[in-house]
């Protein structure tokens, strides 16, 4: 296989527009966790797609948001902004059903970029009448000189193949950067921690998902079994009580759901132990963030 083009493609936008769903759709497997709740993605996650003559390195980013009240929020905004600076192509993703102030903020940041920007209008499956898109497209055409404007549905894989074709055309010439069978830069330990966090997000309400993180303390693989010990960090005793649940029911449910997904990932039986511990105010402590892997 001769790779003629390669490059990094930043997928950016405000929280909850479907960036991780699009990444998983384009790669053809789950490399980034998803949930209906905003700010699920906290890291820069690469999804690697090797085509016949091009290698596209998609970069999933945390949603850009205005609130920078806590260290975690500032960290996520920094990650997203740095990806925009380094990318060869930018995919600016918005929601077909609403245009918000945070979309405007992201667009303002794009004014500084010299890289080609594709506007992707996601969630068109939620529109009863596709003609409702026309006013939004007309408004955004006036705001920025986009390389392309592409309405899609990431969750239903509508027009995502056409999007990938347009991205490949915009890539610079360059060599293959990753082995053709590699799909992400994240190791299994990281993916296991993210799977546990995804199940936590789905099992808890309100602000609790944003006060939790997962740290893998033990990861041992033998021929027939993977043993994992993971700590779920929270900020307050009350949060610990909620996650454990009555008689340990909620924590047990999270563990069962996570174990099933991790078993698919490692393709063998998994023995998973979970503990819940308190690290006060960790989301607003730069040192604590670094200690938990948020670099």
Tell me the CATH number at 39.
3.40.50.300
Sign of the four-CA dihedral 277, 279, 281, 282: negative
Outline where the chain has alpha helix (H). 19-27, 71-86, 101-110, 133-143, 160-170, 188-203, 237-244, 249-266, 286-291
Q: Give the CATH number, domain containing residue 203.
A: 3.30.300.20
Q: Are 14 and 152 in a shared domain? A: yes
Residue 178 lies in a domain: no
Domain boundary among 170, 198, 216: 170
Cβ proximity of 49 and 73 under 8 Å: no
> In angstroms, rounded to a whole number, what is the distance separating the alpha carbons of residues 213 and 193?
9
pTM higher than the cut 0.85: yes
- Domain range for 210: 188-291
Picking from 125, 141, 170, the residue at the C-terminal end of a domain is 170
| pLDDT tens, N- to C-terminus, the chain (295 residues) | 688 899 999 999 999 999 999 999 999 999 999 988 887 888 889 999 999 999 999 999 988 887 777 898 888 888 888 888 889 999 999 999 999 999 999 999 898 889 999 999 999 999 988 888 999 999 999 999 999 999 999 999 999 999 999 999 999 999 999 999 999 999 999 999 999 999 999 998 776 778 899 999 999 999 999 999 999 999 999 999 999 999 999 999 999 999 999 999 999 999 999 999 999 999 999 999 999 888 7
Q: Are residues 193 and 166 in the same domain?
A: no
């Amino acid at each position: 296989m001769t790779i003629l083009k390669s490059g990094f493609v930043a997928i950016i936008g405000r929280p909850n527009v479907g960036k991780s769903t699009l990444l998983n759709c384009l790669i053809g497997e789950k490399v980034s966790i998803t949930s209906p709740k905003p700010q699920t993605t906290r890291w820069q996650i690469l999804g690697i797609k090797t085509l016949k003559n091009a290698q596209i390195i998609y970069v999933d980013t945390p949603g850009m948001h205005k609130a920078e009240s806590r260290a975690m929020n500032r960290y996520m905004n920094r990650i997203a902004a740095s990806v925009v600076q380094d990318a060869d192509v930018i995919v600016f993703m918005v929601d077909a059903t609403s245009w918000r102030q945070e979309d405007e903020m992201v667009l303002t940041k794009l004014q500084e970029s010299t890289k080609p920007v594709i506007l992707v209008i996601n969630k068109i499956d939620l529109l009863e009448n596709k003609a409702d898109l026309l006013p939004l497209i007309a408004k955004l055409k006036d705001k920025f000189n986009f390389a392309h404007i592409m309405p899609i549905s990431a969750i239903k894989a509508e027009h995502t193949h056409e999007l990938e074709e347009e991205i490949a055309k915009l890539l610079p010439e360059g060599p293959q950067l990753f082995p053709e069978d590699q799909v992400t830069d994240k190791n299994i330990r990281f993916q296991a921690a993210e799977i546990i966090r995804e199940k936590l997000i789905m099992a808890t309400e309100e602000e609790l998902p944003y006060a939790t993180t997962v740290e893998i303390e033990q990861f041992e693989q033998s021929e027939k079994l993977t043993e994992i010990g993971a700590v779920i960090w929270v900020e307050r005793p009350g949060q610990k009580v909620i996650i454990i649940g009555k008689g340990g029911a909620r924590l047990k449910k999270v563990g069962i759901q996570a174990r099933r997904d991790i078993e698919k990932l490692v393709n063998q039986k998994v023995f998973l132990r979970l503990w819940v511990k308190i690290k006060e105010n960790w989301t607003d402590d730069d040192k604590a963030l670094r200690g938990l892997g948020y670099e």
